[in-house]
Amino acid sequence: MFKQFVPAPVPADDLAAALAPFGQSRMLPREAYVEAAVFEWEKQYIFSGWHCVGHASDLDGVGAQKAVGSGKNSILLVRGEDGQVRAFANVCRHRGHEMLACGSTAKRRGVVCPYHSWSYKLTGELRNAPGFDDADGFQFEPSAFGLTELRLVNWHGYLFVDPSGQDIDFEQHVAGLEDIVGPYRPEELTVVDRHSYVLDTNWKVIVENYQECYHCQAIHPELSRISPPTSGENIDLPGDWMGGWMSIIDGAQTMSLSGASGGVAIKGLSEQELRTVMYLVGFPNLLVSLHPDYVMTHVMTPLGVDRTHVECAWAFPKEALEAPDFDPSYAVDFWDLTNRQDWAACESVQRGLSSPHSRPGPLAPDEDGVYQFVTRVAKAYQGTR
C-alpha cells in the first residue's frame, strides 16, 4: 500500500504467534504497546491511511475550521462556501507554521496563518501573501502555494481522511457496512452530548477492550444486567471494519441503567436492530455503537505510545429532541459509567504491559473479536495489509 514499506520494529516470532490460528495465537508483541518506535511506525503506516477525524457536524457553517490529529498527522478541516468539508495538511506553505493549534477551532471566511498572516481561501488556494505584490526581483506565483489538500470522505456524517493519498479505495475500506450502518442514518442524528477523556494507555488496548465482553461480568455489573455478556456474535466484514452485536434482555429497550429509553427508537429499524446493539470498529480509531434509539461513537487520537485522547459522542434522532422534556442522560450517564470502568481496566493493562515480565497472552474462546483486531494490526505490521 505504501511506497518504501518497512515492517514494524517488533520481534518476528511474536508477530507470527499473533497470526497463528484462533485458539493457538497470542496477543500482539509487548513492544506494540510500550515502544515509542512502534508508535512512530503506526503513525507513519496506520494513521497515515483512512482514519476517522470526527463528525461532519463538528464543522458548523461556512468557514468553520478545526485542527485534528497530532504532530505529523495534524489535519485542518474546513467547511467551504459550497458546504463541503475539505481536509488539508495543517501546515502553512510559507515556513510551516500550523494554521490552527491541534484541537482548536475557528470560523472565518478564509484560513489565516498566525505567523506572517498569509491567507488562504476556504478551498485552500493562497489569497494573499503580505509584501510580495510590489517587491522587485521576487518571482512568486501564488497559485503554486495553496494548502495541501488530502483525500476526505464524508460517510454517513463521519469524516475520514487518507493523508497518504495511497490507501485503498474508500469503498473497499467500508465494504459490507452499508446494510449495517445505513438503517440508523447517523448523518441525520444530532450529537447532543460529548465527553472528552485522556487515557494513560495505548490506543490498541482500548480497541481490544471494546472487542470483547469477556470482561463484562467482572467490571460492568450495570451493563451485564441489561445485555448478557455472551448474548452476541461477531461478524466478518470484507473491508477494514470489524465488530459484532449483543442483545438486550426482554423488557429492556436500550442500554441504560434501567433498560428504559428516554428517547424514541430510530425510525425504520428491523425487529433484530431494535433488540440488539451493534458494536463496530472502524479500523483504526473509530468505535460506533448502534443502539435502537441512539448512536454512540468514540474517536481515538493517539497522543503517545501510552496516551490516547478519546472523544465520546451521543447522537439522537430529531423526534427525541423535539420532546420538551428530553433528557439524554439515560444514555450518557450509563455509558460514562461504563466508559470509566473500561478506562480503569485499560490503564491497568497498560501499566501491566510496561513490566519487563509481561508476555503476549493467549486469547479466550470469547475473544474472537480481539483476534480480528490483533490479526489486522499484525498484518499491517508485516505489510500484508
**Cross-strand partners of 311:** 196, 299
Q: CA-CA distance, 243 to 123, in Å (whole number)? A: 36
**Which listed residue (2, 12, 16, 95) binds ligand FES by CB under 6 A?**
95
94 binds ligand FES (CB under 6 A): yes
Stretch of 110-118, 155-163, 237-245, 286-294 contacting ligand FES, by CB under 6 A: 110-118
116 binds ligand FES (CB under 6 A): yes
Assigned C-alpha cell, 104: 482548536
45 touches 8 (CB < 8 A): yes
212 binds Fe ion (CB under 5 A): no
Q: Which does 185 bind (CB under 5 to 8 A by kind): Fe ion, ligand FES, none?
A: none
Long-range contacts formed by 307-310: CB under 8 A, 24+ apart: 307/198, 307/199, 307/200, 307/201, 308/198, 308/199, 308/201, 308/202, 308/203, 308/206, 309/196, 309/197, 309/198, 309/199, 310/196, 310/197, 310/198, 310/199, 310/206, 310/339
296 binds ligand FES (CB under 6 A): no
208 binds Fe ion (CB under 5 A): no
How long a stretch of residues is the chain?
Answer: 385
Distances (CA, A) of 206 to 257, 298, 300, 313, 340: 23, 10, 9, 16, 12
Q: Which does 342 bind (CB under 5 to 8 A by kind): Fe ion, ligand FES, none?
A: Fe ion
- Contact letters for Fe ion, residues 342-371 (x by CB under 5 A): x-----------------------------
Assigned C-alpha cell, 331: 444514555
- Contact letters for ligand FES, residues 42-81 (x by CB under 6 A): ----------------------------------------
Minimum Å distance from CB 117 to ligand FES? 6
Size of the site for ligand FES (CB under 6 A): 9
Q: Give me the amino acid identity at 241.
A: W
Q: Which residues bind ligand FES (CB under 6 A)?
A: 92, 94-97, 113, 115-116, 118
Q: Which residues bind Fe ion (CB under 5 A)?
A: 342
